[in-house]
Amino acid sequence: MKSTPSLLPEPRSYFGTAIMVGAITALPFAILWSWLFAAMQGLSFGQVLPLGLGGGVFFGLFFGLTMAFFLKGKTADIDYSDKKGFVARLNVAMSQLGYNPASQSEDFLTYKPSFQAGLAAGRISVQLHEDHAIIVGPRTYVKKLVHRLARD
């Protein structure tokens, strides 16, 4: 592991990810559940909404805590000898994982997830140095990427 400073942000923690995912899913779940329950029971939406909001908070908390295990951030450091060859292998590996290039400069690459990778996959950023790269992104995908790059 190199001690070169990185301009990449620190990856989000487990609880930070859980709160983000839970907050994003709670309200849509509450509204959808309330609407479906009201339609099935013949009640008005306003009567059911308070119960749906409570259920949405519970669902968001449960879903966020579960999905955070897979989506929390991770940082990896990979050594290479040929920068150009590494970037070529990186582009192929990212494509295989369902990621598309989002932005690229001489020493900083960003990849965004396609629908194939998943809606909540999150971006992966790569900062290139002289002989190593620092990768930051969702834990599951960074682990898969490191595994693919180690195979080649």
Q: Are residue 134 and residue 120 in the same domain, yes or no? A: yes
Same domain assignment for residues 50 and 22: yes
93 and 131 co-located in one domain: yes
Mean pLDDT of the chain: 85
Asked whether residue 142 falls in the same domain as residue 87, the answer is yes
Amino acid at 44: S
SS in 3 state form for 11-79?
CCCHHHHHHHHHHHHHHHHHHHHHHHHHHHHCCCHHHHHHHHHHHHHHHHHHHHHHHHHHHCEEEEEEE
Is residue 21 included in any domain, yes or no?
Answer: yes
Domain-embedded: residue 3: no
* pLDDT tens per residue across span 2-23: 445 555 555 567 787 788 878 8
Is residue 44 situated within a structural domain?
yes
In this prediction, residue 61 carries a pLDDT of 87
Quick check: is 104 in a domain?
yes
Is the pLDDT at 89 greater than 90? The verdict is yes
Q: Are residues 81 and 142 in the same domain?
A: yes
Please check whether residues 84 and 19 belong to one and the same domain. no
For residue 2, being part of any structural domain is answered with no
- Claim to verify: residue 54 and residue 32 sit in the same structural domain: yes
Could you tell me if residue 45 is inside a domain?
yes
Place of tokens 């991770």: 74
Residue 37 has pLDDT above 50, yes or no: yes
pLDDT value for 10? 58
pLDDT score of 87? 93
Residues of the chain by 3-state class (helix, strand, coil), percent to 5: 55, 20, 25
C-alpha of 105 from chain center: 22
pLDDT score of 146 more than 70: yes
Domain of residue 52 covers 14-70
Of 142, 108, 149, 104, nearest to 122 by C-alpha is 142
Evaluate if residue 43 carries a pLDDT over 70: yes
Flag whether pLDDT at 136 surpasses 70. yes
Count of structural domains, the chain: 2
Tell me: pLDDT of 26 over 60: yes
Q: Quick: pLDDT tens for 44-53.
A: 999 999 999 8
**pLDDT mean over 82-89:** 92
Write the CA distances from 149 to 47, 70, 80, 86, integer angstroms.
55, 20, 10, 9
